[in-house]
Amino acid sequence: MTTKILSSVTVAGTLYVFLLSLLRPGDALFLITSSDTGLNLALVVLALFAMYVSYVEKFKSSGLYMTTLVFAVLFLVIGFIGLTYSSIENYFTALVEPVDFIVAMILGVVFSLSALSAEHKPIDLQPVHNYLSLIRYGLSSTKQSAASTFQRLTTPPRTTSSRSV
């Protein structure tokens, strides 16, 4: 329930900032958040996806579950790094402001809570295992053929003695 409330509030906040960036881009709010409409639209879309994921009771595909996990880690790392290194010269100051990093961290929290709380199918790693075993078999057969070729090239040819009768 907390994830649903947090994601809904995040959608409402990012939508408000997006609409305000369209109507009044010179507002005082944009001293701490970005007034770029593209970035704000991307945050709204990501917040809507986070809200969708937070309302999912069970992941129907492992792909959606893995995407949620990747987004969780990605946004937590981006938010943490952006907030931690805000005192250093930031090359994105014209585009990304501190509140945008906070929104990224909130999205990371929503994605991670959704991934942890919803049921999901067990991830089938058999195709990955098959692919890795093919690579391993191919490499081992290549090593064997290379070793036999090296041995054949480095050993002197056998001399056959011919007996005359």
pLDDT band with cut points at 50, 70 and 90 for residue 1: confident
CA 62 from chain center: how many Å? Answer: 14
| 120-145 residue pLDDT tens | 766 666 666 666 666 666 655 555 56
Judged against a pLDDT cut of 80, whether residue 158 lies above it is answered with no
pLDDT at 35: 82
Which residue bears the tokens 């991830």?
A: 123
Average pLDDT, whole number, for the chain?
Answer: 78
Judged against a pLDDT cut of 60, whether residue 81 lies above it is answered with yes
pLDDT at 145: 60
pLDDT at 30: 79
Q: In angstroms, what CA-CA distances link 10 with 23, 26, 47, 48? A: 20, 22, 6, 9
